Structure 1
């Protein structure tokens, strides 16, 4: 059995997603002013996304703790993670803010993290679909 097909793979990836979002969100909420000064990102953006990340971390932890991963919700998480990456890139190329080199690194680190997590989540969903198809609404061919 492949590591991707393991019944614990998706929960493990969701725990990693929850942990990374909790850490990033906590940093952004606790050190909003300092991060705004260092990154060139606006404090309201850092605070707002920090709070969102903390709420999302709780939701991801809930999904990770289920004995049967909620595949439809995890599918939405995959889309959301890719959307977050696109929004981060759009923020950088928009030129709306005088983002510092550290700010670019902060945003690009988030892009890298969510793209890797989304790919792992998508891979886990594809590899485990045969074992959970009857429960999740997937057709026998594995399509939504």
Structure 2
């Protein structure tokens, strides 16, 4: 009796070594995002005065960011980095950038001038993470 096994052209140890940059970028995204989430949750009153964001929005965004950061960290620390999960995080980051810019452009969320600048700066950082993750994923898959 014979069994068919899917051959993996890259062994797990080799794949893990090729994933080094991808893991680093994912971990940086996870930490920055989770810290940002904790700040929104813990400092909602202070940030309301500074950025003008409603505290309810800060709690919702903070909780999302914290959970997202944890999920990205889990992806980065698996023995083999999931390509599907990484593509999902890239897509979520791109969506975050688009939505942030739409919110600023439309005034959908109350914000001071500093709050609007902060939103745009966050979008730039998140966009950079998406680009770095896409680059690192491509590099790991070519290696």
TM-score, normalising length from structure 2?
0.83
* Counterpart in the other structure of 2:25: 13
Specify the alignment match of 1:135 in structure 2.
Answer: none
Q: Which runs of 5+ in 1 are unaligned?
A: 132-144
Displacement, 1:98? 4.0
- Are 1:54 and 2:66 an aligned pair? yes
Which position in structure 2 is the counterpart of 1:40? 52
Residues 1:107 and 2:137 are matched in the alignment: no
Aligned-residue RMSD, C-alpha: 1.5
Offset of 1:110 from its aligned partner? Answer: 1.2
List runs of 5+ in structure 2 lacking aligned partners. Answer: 1-16
Question: 1:118 corresponds to which residue?
Answer: 130
Give, in whole Å, the separation in 2 of the partners of 1:20 and 1:46.
Answer: 16
In the TM superposition, what is the alpha-carbon distance from 1:105 to its structure 2 partner? Answer: 2.3
Deviates more, 1:32-41 or 1:7-16: 32-41
Match of 2:10 in 1: none
Paired residues, what number? Answer: 127
Deviation at 1:95, TM superposition (A): 2.0
Post-superposition Cα deviations, 1:76-120, rounded to whole Å, max 9, x if no partner, equal: 110100000111001101123442122012211210111000001
Larger radius of gyration: 2
